[in-house]
Structure 1
Amino acid sequence: MLCAQFLGLLTVTGLVRALVLPVGSQLTDTEKGRRKVVHVLEDESGAVIVQTAPGKVVTHRGGSITLPCRYHHEPENTDPARIRIKWTKVTDSLQFEDVFVALGHQQRVFGSYRGRVELEEAGPGDASVIIHNITLQDYGRYECEVTNDMEDDTGFVNLDLEGVVFPYHPRVGRYKLNYHQAQDVCREQDAILASHGQLHKAWLDGLDWCNAGWLEDGSVQYPISHPRDQCGRKNTPAGVRNYGYRHKEDERYDAFCFTSNLNGRVYFLKRFKKVNYSEAVKACQRDGSTVAKVGQLYAAWKIQLLDRCEAGWLEDGSIRYPIVNPRARCGGPEPGVRNLGFPDKKFRLYGVYCFRKNKDSTGVQVQPTLQPKKTINSVTANVTRNN
């Protein structure tokens, strides 16, 4: 008899869980960054049940985003002052970063999230938070935990950013960076180390690069769209090659960086004369700007659709130029940011790309100013290919 009752309880519980119907995770362009509504049906066990949106929520640097989380508890008249809502960021499998906690009307925001995070408060059972002025570092996985006296439950939300991945090595040459130096050079170029997911998406969009680079999780990988003998043998399938997790202090590789929406504008400074590096710096300063960083040029190419067939200095001393609409005299048949390397800074052979920051530093998404003749979605960051 007890066994039959237990089996009946399992059947009912299974039916109730089958009735949990989250809205599909596919988003249109106009829906990106909006909260997903999740409907939850519960039994009468009294447990707290947390439901978060499937898939990812997507925004851009400088924007605002709602991380959706709803909970249900029985009985309905449970004192709201006894409900604790806690948000943390999962930095790896064993570490968490506190973001936000609320107990009744008492709320606290932590660390770099101070002044940027608030509860959405869209009605009973809403534990969603809004993050304003999104930064590159906000990318990642978040945990929503709701506690009601002794009962608690958690759910997870993945925050993704629209942006671009690019390979990078400094003037001193290839394979010169340990993990911490790779973090630093990406930061210096207005970027962060890319995640595996970001690199994989860039590979799906056409990124092909033969040199291995650090990723944010401490692994070393590289994307190959066109297998060849110089890059792990011609007869191997295309894909993201993975060296695994490497020693962060002792081993040296390049870096794969990720950047997102600009809070300003990159432009080629029109001059009648070519300039050396020091003259380029002064020219941008006289124009009320600074010399553009590599990450800023990539973001301008990807988001602003900057297309310029003129080589120019960047802040790190490299010479590059962005091509949206490929043509014969502009470095190859595919769109991308062309890289001419690190010449002697005394050479007066190039122009300069400047960056002017928006007066409103909160960052409004920049709308494209040029319609490409050829899509760049298939080649997210195809720089001059290294064979």
Structure 2
Amino acid sequence: MICLLMVVLVSVAAADRSALQTLRQLDALYPELEHSRTIYVVENAPRLSVLAEPSKVIARRGGNATLPCKILRDENLAPNRKMRIKWTKLTSDYLKEVDVFVSMDFHKRSYGRFHGRVHLLNSSPSDVSLVITDITLEDYGKYKCEIIDGLEDATTVVALDLEGVVFPYFPRLGRYNLNYYDAERACLEQDAAVASFDQLYDAWRGGLDWCNAGWLSDGSVQYPITAPREPCGGRNTVPGVRNYGVRDKEKNHYDVFCFTSHFKGRFYYLMHHSKLTYDEAVQACQKDGAQIAKVGQMFAAWKLLGYDRCDAGWLADGSVRYPISHPRRRCSPTEAAVRFSGFPDKKHKLYGVYCFKGHN
């Protein structure tokens, strides 16, 4: 045993001398190198991966979009007809995934509200990009492309963004009267959806300043400030999106930030021989083959189409507003905005009406 140990030690010593000699030779050839070296060895690199370029796609409501996903597969892998392609949508809080589309060989299936609106592009065997048609407000968000090939699997995430506008909203009941579920319904009733943080952040960067806190789609409550002042976080604070954090969706009550996008139809001010009560306004639009317009439709027409009208008119929620794209004296002189005149008594015969006539 002693002899064996001596042989091992001699071998180790010889190896150390050889390694030391090699290091000395390297030092002589490359004197600028540091003595401490780290060597990274990569083994068993993945034989399957997926790529999404670009990682963000911008579309509009009612249009189509292609979410990119390309398979990068080791050529040594045998062809697999049973490769599984799965697309899911991540919820705004990232706690779960919603099935969108699954494909394996000749078997293909779309799910839920995506049924009949999604298919694979299939421009090449490696292209499994997802095509979404007739895009809705609810389609906004992040999507995961997952490939399962035997024991190999890979995923990538693509964001679908929408052209649109964020607007703060509260109902006739007044400010801070909406729990999260009430807020969802309120936005839906005004042809909109609860805005995400990213949408609110982009709106803030675009100049949105609003001092009342509102729900966002992830369950948080926030508000955007471009001009710091005492009632809105303090005069000495920096501009930004103020965050109250995630709140109880049933017990806590705030306003809401809604998001809407392009619409299919015509938004217009109805020319009428006299001013109208709210009920008369509803009937006047119906007589014209339309419906009384919603708040989201006014914001979309103002922001996305440049609609400009200095006449205050009834909207579906009983509020009175008017959109100004070109500020001027007596018509929002300082800024382009949708001007809000409140929720007057519906029996007041003081206003016109904005109508919306949809078409496919």
* TM-score when normalising by structure 2: 0.87
Which residue in the other structure is 1:21 paired with?
Answer: none
The match for 1:74 is 74
Residues 219 and 242, structure 1, Cα contact 8 Å, conserved in 2: yes
Q: Contact 2:315 / 2:353 at 8 angstroms: preserved in 1?
A: yes
Task: Report the AA paired with residue 103 of structure 1.
Answer: M
Offset of 1:218 from its aligned partner? 0.4
SS in 2 for 1:329: coil
| Alpha-carbon distance change, 357 to 76 in structure 1, aligned in 2, over 3 angstroms | farther
Does the 8 A contact of 2:62 with 2:136 survive in 1?
Answer: yes
**CA-CA distance at 1:53 after TM superposition:** 2.1
1:275 aligned to 2:276? yes
Aligned to 2:63: 63
1:84-116 deviations in Å (ceiling 9; x for gaps)? 110000113220000000001210100000010
Indicate if the aligned counterparts of 1:109 and 1:117 stay in contact, CA closer than 8 A: yes
Which ranges of structure 2 fall in alignment gaps of 5 or more residues?
Answer: 1-14, 16-37
Question: What do residues 170-197 of structure 1 show as CA deviations (whole Å, max 9, x unaligned)?
Answer: 0010000111100110011000100000
Q: Write out per-residue CA displacement over residues 242-263 of structure 1, whole angstroms, 9 at most, x where no aligned residue.
A: 0000111111100000000111
Is 1:131 paired with 2:128? no
Computed over aligned residues only, the root mean square deviation of the Cα atoms, in angstroms, reads: 1.6
> Is 1:96 aligned to residue 78 of structure 2?
no
Does 1:286 find its partner at 2:292?
no
- Are 2:54 and 2:68, in contact at CA under 8 Å, matched by a contact in 1? no
> Aligned letter for 1:114?
H
Letter in 2 for 1:48: L
Q: 2:64 is matched by which residue type in structure 1?
A: S
Deviation of the 1:67 alpha carbon: 0.4
Q: 1:177 is matched with which residue? A: 178
Whichever residue aligns with residue 303 of structure 1, its letter is: L
Q: Distance in 2 between matches of 1:240 and 1:77?
A: 49
Equivalent residue, structure 2, for 1:49: 49
Provide the rounded CA distance (Å) in 2 between the counterparts of 1:8 and 1:184: 55
Please state whether the residue corresponding to 1:115 is helix, strand or coil.
coil
Distance in 1, Cα, partners of 2:343 & 2:268: 20
**CA contact under 8 A between 1:51 and 1:71: conserved in structure 2?**
yes
Superposed, 1:297-312 pairs within 5 Å as 297-312=298-313
Deviation at 1:202, TM superposition (A): 0.3
- Which aligned pairs between 1:151-300 and structure 2 lie closer than 5 A? 151-300=152-301
- Per the alignment, residue 16 of structure 1 pairs with none
Shift in Å, 1:124 = 2.0
Q: Give the deviation of 1:76 after TM superposition.
A: 5.9
For the pair shown, which has the larger CA radius of gyration, 1 or 2?
Answer: 2
Residue 86 (structure 1) aligns with: 86
Deviation at 1:72, TM superposition (A): 1.7
Distance, in Å, in 1 between the alignment partners of 2:146 and 2:175 is: 44
| Equivalent in the alignment of 2:321 | 320
Runs of 4+, deviation exceeding 4 Å: 6-9
CA distance in 1, matches of 2:157, 2:171: 37
| Cα deviation, residue 82, structure 1 | 1.9
Structure 2 Cα separation of the partners of residues 77 and 152 of structure 1: 13
**Does the aligned pair in 1 maintain the 2:179–2:249 contact within 8 Å?**
yes
1:55 and 1:334 mapped to 2: Cα distance?
Answer: 35
Query: CA separation in 1, counterparts of 2:294 and 2:284?
Result: 15
Does the Cα contact within 8 Å between 2:55 and 2:68 map onto a contact in 1? no
Structure 1 unaligned blocks of 5 or more? 14-43, 361-387
Q: CA deviation at 1:127?
A: 1.1
Q: Tell me the residue number matched to 1:119.
A: 120
Contact 2:167/2:259 (8 A) holds in 1: yes
Identity of counterpart residues, as a percentage? 54
Q: 1:45: how far off?
A: 5.4
Residue type of the partner of 1:52? Answer: A
Instruction: Give, in whole Å, the separation in 2 of the partners of 1:238 and 1:7.
Output: 47
Residue 233 of structure 1 and its aligned partner are, at CA, apart by 1.0
Q: For residue 7 of structure 1, report the CA deviation from its aligned partner.
A: 5.0
